[in-house]
Amino acid sequence: MISLATNPRQIVLIYNSEQKSHREIFAYAKSADKDLLAIDISKEKVAGTVWTEVADLLDKRAMDLIHTTHSSFIKKYGENHELDCNGAIKMLQKDPEMLIYPYAIQDRRAKEIKLYNEMLSFFDPDTAEINIP
């Protein structure tokens, strides 16, 4: 089981390597000038307390981590599937495909990453050192 410990010099990325968009976001995160703790939920089980902590950092409930209106969810579980926080955590632990978008965490800040360029908010700004003619 993975436990979440955050550090201002480290980016934690929770993703599913079986999804192409997640692999692209992982590659982008890896290019940051920070340590990267990449947690691939298709290979590692993430503790329920970690999912709860991620939800807290996002100011959401654990059940809000699952996109129940996404076509992947509807195709697998139907439109009227009832989901509570415990059910959502179990779903994320047993069905990594339901992590529609990866989550990036740094220190006490978390963000759902829908597009790879959203990882930029976790990079150190280094353009100040570029001499623009």
* Residue 131 falls inside a structural domain: no
Domain total for the chain? 1
SS3 (DSSP) at 8: coil
pLDDT in tens, the chain (133 residues): 445 666 778 899 999 999 999 999 999 888 877 889 999 999 999 999 999 999 999 999 999 999 998 898 989 888 888 889 999 999 999 999 999 999 999 888 899 999 888 888 877 655 344 343 4
Residue at 4 is within a domain: no
Residues counted in the chain: 133
Query: What's the burial of 104, exposed, middle or buried (CB within 10 Å: 0-12/13-18/19+)?
Result: buried
Cβ atoms of 121 and 113 closer than 8 Å: no
Instruction: Give a yes or no: residue 37 inside a domain.
Output: yes
Query: How many Cα atoms sit within 13 Å of 57 on the Cβ side?
Result: 20
44 occurs within a structural domain:
yes
Supply the CATH number for residue 47's domain. Answer: 3.40.30.10
| CA atoms in the 13 A half-sphere facing the CB of 5 | 3
Rounded Cα distance, 116 and 27, in Å: 9
What is the rounded CA–CA span in Å between residue 126 and residue 85? Answer: 40
Q: Does any domain span residue 89?
A: yes
The model scores a pTM over 0.75: yes
Full residue range of the structural domain in which residue 37 is found: 10-121
